[in-house]
Amino acid sequence: MSELKHFLQFKDFTRDEFEYLFERTRIIKERFKSYKKYWPLEDRTLVMIFEKASTRTRLSFEAGMHQLGGSAIYLNTRDSQLGRGEPVEDAGQVISRMSDIVMIRTFEQEIIERFARNSRVPVINGLTNEYHPCQILADIYTYIEHRGSIQGKTVAWIGDSNNMCNTWLQAAEVLDFNVHVSTPPGYEVEPERAGLYGTDHYEAFADPMDAARDADLMTTDVWTSMGYEAENEARMKAFADWQVDEDMMRVAKPDALFMHCLPAHRGEEVSAGVMDSPQSVVWDEAENRLHVQKALMEYLLLGKLDQ
Ligand code: CP
Ligand code: NVA
């Protein structure tokens, strides 16, 4: 593949590319589950840069790269020159000369874009204030595994219009499904920040029960994302009526799934009963981060493969 490709937000890829990735994920996951060695990225190096905490993202990228035959290096702001003011453009130049692919978790989207503009190798967004595209890739793959195509389906997003919400909205435009969003007043979706084309794939509801009605998939996330901790007290009050609980699940479709990117706070954005119910697929969702990101790294480094 000659053209350098990055995955900085969901709409960086087309629907065809996502269909390819979902099929590759299926094959790679199946191979892994049957203990077949598959090393297409032998001798390749992934650098992971973390400016915020992580369990799943670090683990899935690091394990995934090893399983594909490559190696992974972990850098964080605290222990690298990034935390001492080295310009992100310079970091992009240097890090991309010593590696084959880079994953970054940081604050503003603008930071990852500046890094990517100075990078010789593909850059993956491992979460920014605005977007979390790898998580939505895993979520949609999980939906497909359980229920088939997501096209035409309705996802209910209950809670904060954060990085996860924005990415669901982008995904709805690319993959042609609908998102019903309910946020407390003052926390509404900002379409420009969400990076939407404006193709009318989402609807806002004042009452979360209305957003949940007849949904195929119910989903939510923490009320206070990383980087917004100073607002925690105000957010706890504002979001109190936006908990996904058993009453809310009852108005969704009877076979609706529940998803949460994790980490979750039982008793805040989701009741313990819903989180641990048979409709909840949160553990599959977490596991699928591993499989979709292996397909993603393979695609960014090797392009489309025949088998
Ligand atoms: N869902 C997710 O990205 O989890 P981590 O913050 O643990 O990486
Ligand atoms: N919205 C959350 C997601 C964590 C995986 C955050 O940004 O903190």
Residue 140: closest CA among 122, 163, 164: 164
For 297, the enclosing helix (H) or strand (E) is helix 282-302
Q: Whose CA is nearest to atom 6 of ligand 1?
A: 54
Provide DSSP, 192-211.
Answer: HHHT----S-EEE-SSHHHH
Mean of the per-residue pLDDT values of the chain: 97
pLDDT above 90 for 306: no
245 annotated active-site: no
Nearest ligand 2 atom to the CA of 57 is 5
User: What pLDDT score does 288 carry?
Assistant: 99
User: What pLDDT score does 155 carry?
Assistant: 99
Q: What CATH number is given for 10-132+286-302 in this structure?
A: 3.40.50.1370
**C-beta of residue 250 within 8 angstroms of C-beta of residue 124:** no
pLDDT, tens digit, for every residue of 80-121?
A: 898 899 999 999 999 999 999 999 999 999 999 999 999 999
Residue 170: closest CA among 151, 191, 139: 191
User: What pLDDT score does 267 carry?
Assistant: 98
What is the second-level CATH architecture of the domain 142-282?
A: 3-Layer(aba) Sandwich (3.40)
Q: Please tell me the least confidently modeled range out of 168-172, 198-202, 301-305.
A: 198-202
Please check whether the two domains, 10-132+286-302 and 142-282, share a CATH topology.
Answer: yes
For residue 2, report the distance from its CA to the centre of ligand 1, in Å: 31
Q: Whose CA is nearest to atom 1 of ligand 2?
A: 225
Which of 54, 132, 219, 226 is the pocket-test mutation for ligand 1 (most atoms within 8 Å of CB)?
Answer: 54
147 annotated active-site: no
CA dist., res. 212 & res. 180, Å (int):
7
**C-beta of residue 258 within 8 angstroms of C-beta of residue 274:** yes
User: What pLDDT score does 2 carry?
Assistant: 58
pLDDT above 50 for 1: no
pLDDT, tens digit, for every residue of 211-248?
A: 999 999 999 999 999 999 999 999 999 999 999 999 99
Domains in the chain: boundaries:
10-132+286-302, 142-282
105 annotated active-site: yes
**C-beta of residue 293 within 8 angstroms of C-beta of residue 57:** no
Q: Whose CA is nearest to atom 3 of ligand 2?
A: 225
- In percent, the amount of the chain with pLDDT more than 70 equals 99
User: With a 6 A CB cut-off, is 221 part of the ligand 2 pocket?
Assistant: yes
97 annotated active-site: no
